[in-house]
């Protein structure tokens, strides 16, 4: 970073830290155990303006920048990744595509509810045969008499089935063209589908290893009809536009993962000072103190990586590679720190009511969602001219 965080950024981080510790943390274990969505927590996060942080005031946002949003995510993720991913997906995958590519009418219609946190939105990209590889997309949308007729299924869609979900934006094949080499290229577009639209069904929530308090469902579309004006962005540019949103989202996921990594450090330090064996606190043993020191180094490096990517983005400079580096470093730091923190806690680290146990289950998906580690390595290698 060319400069330290501004006073405004520091004040925001402190405010969200207090909110996370006083409001989110006390109910995190309960919602995780019950697999229940924390509506009351999300409502308070909305009242704080967290869902509107990186958006202009004209649409109900807070007028902040993307780094402010990332700082909030880091603080929330220290205590509860489920709430953090609800916030990250609500902003990055729900509201941001509409803000970036929507018409003025679409923005005025959907953004106020999304930026206030009163509503959530999901982004339907992943399918059983398509995710990292968009060419596998099978969901189709045909234009008939001024309506898009959508048929297909989606998998693992966050924020898609809550009581406050107002819409899901889906990628669908809207046509095809012949490439210069004679191959057939799919035309993929994005279309807004409001909740409750006939033909749009939300399947039962998944029984997940982690992120138990976040909302994740499969979706199906059968003769689902929405107005032609629900097309989001330019026809045929849906997946390309989403890749741009995903690059930004990787910075946000990096911040979330950094928070998880730091949360493990904080809990390990606290426990190591309290837990005694053979008459001494375990923090006095080099095997424990060095382990926690390595954990702190990982969190520090992850934070620097996402700060750098966010700074490049704010400056209008290319940041795609740096976002991939940050996503890979931070997600691995979260998983490694969760493992080490669990070891520090011993048997208590295997009890779900403890934060480190939840981090151990939650953190693995960070190496998978919004681009696997292997995808990040592929993108980094390409930037070096290796692929």
From the list 76, 82, 79, the residue with the least C-alpha distance to 34 is: 82
Rounded Cα gap, residues 369 and 209, in angstroms: 14
Burial grade of 34 (CB within 10 A; 0-12, 13-18, 19 or more): exposed
Are 305 and 261 in contact by the 8 Å Cβ rule? The answer is: no
Cα angle, residue 164 at apex, residues 210 and 117 outer, rounded to 5°: 85
Give, in order, the Cα–Cα distances in Å from 58 to each of 74, 103, 112, 193.
Answer: 26, 14, 9, 24
Q: Write down the architecture of domain 122-236 according to CATH.
A: Beta Barrel (2.40)
pTM as predicted: 0.95
Rounded Cα gap, residues 283 and 96, in angstroms: 44
In this prediction, residue 310 carries a pLDDT of 95
Is 74 marked active-site?
Answer: no
In this prediction, residue 177 carries a pLDDT of 78
Q: Which of 62, 88, 248, 370 is catalytic?
A: 370
In this prediction, residue 183 carries a pLDDT of 75
* Residue whose entry in the numeric block shows the structure tokens 């099978």: 138
Are 182 and 188 in contact by the 8 Å Cβ rule? The answer is: no
CATH 1.20.140.10 fits 240-383, yes or no: yes
- What's the maximum distance between 2 C-alpha atoms anywhere in the chain? 79
* Residue whose entry in the numeric block shows the structure tokens 């983005």: 313
Mean pLDDT of the chain: 95
Lowest mean pLDDT across 198-202, 242-246, 292-296? 242-246
Give, in order, the Cα–Cα distances in Å from 175 to each of 75, 226, 235.
Answer: 43, 17, 9
Lowest mean pLDDT across 96-105, 122-131, 145-154, 201-210? 122-131
Lowest mean pLDDT across 54-63, 181-190, 348-357? 181-190
In this prediction, residue 244 carries a pLDDT of 85
Confidence of residue 2 (pLDDT cuts 50, 70, 90): low
- Rounded mean pLDDT, 39-61: 97
- Percent of the chain, pLDDT > 70? 99
In this prediction, residue 17 carries a pLDDT of 98
In this prediction, residue 341 carries a pLDDT of 98
In this prediction, residue 178 carries a pLDDT of 74
Q: Where are the domains of the chain?
A: 7-119, 122-236, 240-383
Tokens of 306: 């996402």
Q: Can you list the alpha helix ranges (DSSP code H) found in the chain?
A: 7-19, 25-34, 39-47, 66-79, 81-89, 96-101, 104-116, 238-274, 286-314, 320-345, 355-362, 373-383
Q: Write down the architecture of domain 7-119 according to CATH.
A: Orthogonal Bundle (1.10)
Q: Which residues contact 218 (CB under 8 A, 6 or more apart)?
A: 153, 154, 155, 156, 157, 202, 203, 206
């Amino acid at each position: 970073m060319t400069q330290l965080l501004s006073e405004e950024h520091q004040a925001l981080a402190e405010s969200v830290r207090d909110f996370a510790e006083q409001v989110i943390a006390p109910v995190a274990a309960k919602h995780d155990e019950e697999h229940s969505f924390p509506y009351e927590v999300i409502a308070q996060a909305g009242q704080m303006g967290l869902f509107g942080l990186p958006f202009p005031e004209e649409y109900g946002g807070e007028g902040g920048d993307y780094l402010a949003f990332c700082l909030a995510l880091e603080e929330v993720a220290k205590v509860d990744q489920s709430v953090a991913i609800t916030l990250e997906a609500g902003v990055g995958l729900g509201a941001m595509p509409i803000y970036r590519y929507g018409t003025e009418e679409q923005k005025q219609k959907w953004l106020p509810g999304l930026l206030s946190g009163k509503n959530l939105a999901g982004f339907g990209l992943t399918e059983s045969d398509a995710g990292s590889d968009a060419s596998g997309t099978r969901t189709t949308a045909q234009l008939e008499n001024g309506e898009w007729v959508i048929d297909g299924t989606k998998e693992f869609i966050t924020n898609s089935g809550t009581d406050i979900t107002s819409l899901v934006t889906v990628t669908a094949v809207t046509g095809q063209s012949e490439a210069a080499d004679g191959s057939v290229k799919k035309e993929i577009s994005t279309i807004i589908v409001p909740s409750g639209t006939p033909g749009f069904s939300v399947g039962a929530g998944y029984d997940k290893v982690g992120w138990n308090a976040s909302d994740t469902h499969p979706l199906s579309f059968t003769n689902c009809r929405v107005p032609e004006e629900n097309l989001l962005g330019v026809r045929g540019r849906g997946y390309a536009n989403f890749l741009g949103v995903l690059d930004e989202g990787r910075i946000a996921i990096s911040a979330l993962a950094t928070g998880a990594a730091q949360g493990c450090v904080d809990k390990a330090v606290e426990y190591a000072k309290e837990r005694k064996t053979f008459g001494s606190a375990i923090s006095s043993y080099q095997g424990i103190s060095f382990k926690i020191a390595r954990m702190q180094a990982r969190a520090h490096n992850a934070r620097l990586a996402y700060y750098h990517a966010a700074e490049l983005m704010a400056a209008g400079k290319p940041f795609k590679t740096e976002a991939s580096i940050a996503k890979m470093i931070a997600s691995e730091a979260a998983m490694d720190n969760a493992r080490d923190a669990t070891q520090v806690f011993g048997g208590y680290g295997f009890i779900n009511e403890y934060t480190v146990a939840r981090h151990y289950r939650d953190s693995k998906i960070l190496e998978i969602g919004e681009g696997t580690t292997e995808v990040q390595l592929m993108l980094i290698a390409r930037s070096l001219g290796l692929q």
